[in-house]
Amino acid sequence: MKNDIDYDSMSSLEIWLSDISEDSATRIAAAVLVISGSLLGAIFGVLAISANPAEILSGSLVSDDDYADINGIVNSALIDNNTGGDPIEGVKLTLLNVDGTVTGKETFTDQSGRFQMPEIKRQPFILFASLEDNISIRLFLIPGDHTQIPITMTPGDDESVIEIDWRGESNLSQAATLATIIAILTLISGTIGVRGGFEVLHGKSYRKAWWFSFIGLWSRGGLFIGPLLILIGMALSSLTKHQFTIDEINIE
């Protein structure tokens, strides 16, 4: 406890801060704030882990595990850095099996050059893009591996074909793995932050409580709500650090 406080030389704010620093309720309030903010982050981590990262990354493009939408845009090739690069309307997109047989699915690009083929089975296909007086494109792909399919049409003989193989080039699985790792780290940091809140509540080691609470900041519960609660809790616990029983070097 603080002794020999000269209240005459202190401002009203300093007196108020001194008073609340002596009250154990301030430390308890700090613990509640740290625990609440960290718990919020831990909950977000659990929700992120339980969700399907692939669905989060691709939004509505992946409707279930077996089917996905094919979305893309067709632009004209850039020529001499002067002309081209514009969306093309009326490009015919035909979906073929890998052996070249037709699937019965085809569509055309709209005014913005975009196209969509909904609910396509997730297996290897050929997406064939053709337009008069432009070189055709034969694109090997697996629906759902890429959220957007960009196709560039080059002026030339429409009997000529450029083959592009996008099978195995998907970054979706790597992105989903990264999202899962981040979710796990969020859960871990949130759990450690909760431990920090209980350290504040028990009032034993201020250093341990400070570091655990600091780690809890990285749980990012509710983006800024959780960290804000933890920061306020850390500020209050700093006011009451003389209430902690273990004698150690204080963190300023």
pLDDT higher than 50, residue 61: no
pLDDT at 168: 67
Count the domains in the chain. Answer: 2
pLDDT at 245: 84
pLDDT at 107: 96
8-35: pLDDT as tens digits: 566 777 777 777 778 888 889 999 999 9
**Residue 149 lies in domain:** 57-169
Which among 139, 169, 199 is the end of a domain?
Answer: 169
Higher-confidence residue of 176 and 102: namely: 102
| DSSP one-letter string for 51-91 | S-HHHHHHGGGB-SSSEEEEEEEEEEPPBTTTB---B-SS-
Same domain, 45 and 113: no
Is position 249 within any domain?
no
pLDDT higher than 60, residue 143: yes
- pLDDT-derived band of residue 51, with 50, 70 and 90 as boundaries? low
84-96: pLDDT as tens digits: 788 999 999 999 9
Same domain, 68 and 145: yes
Phi, psi of 249 (to 5 degrees): -70, 125
Same domain, 36 and 119: no
pLDDT above 70 coverage of the chain, percent:
82
3-state secondary structure of 135: coil
Same domain, 71 and 159: yes
Q: Against a cut of 0.85, is the pTM above it?
A: no
Cα–Cα distance between 134 and 126 in angstroms, integer?
A: 18
Is position 10 within any domain?
no
| Token pair in block for residue 53 | 């990262």
Instruction: Mean pLDDT check: name the lowest of 98-112, 133-147, 195-209, 238-252.
Output: 238-252
- pLDDT-derived band of residue 170, with 50, 70 and 90 as boundaries? low
Same domain, 80 and 155: yes
pLDDT at 1: 46
Same domain, 39 and 109: no
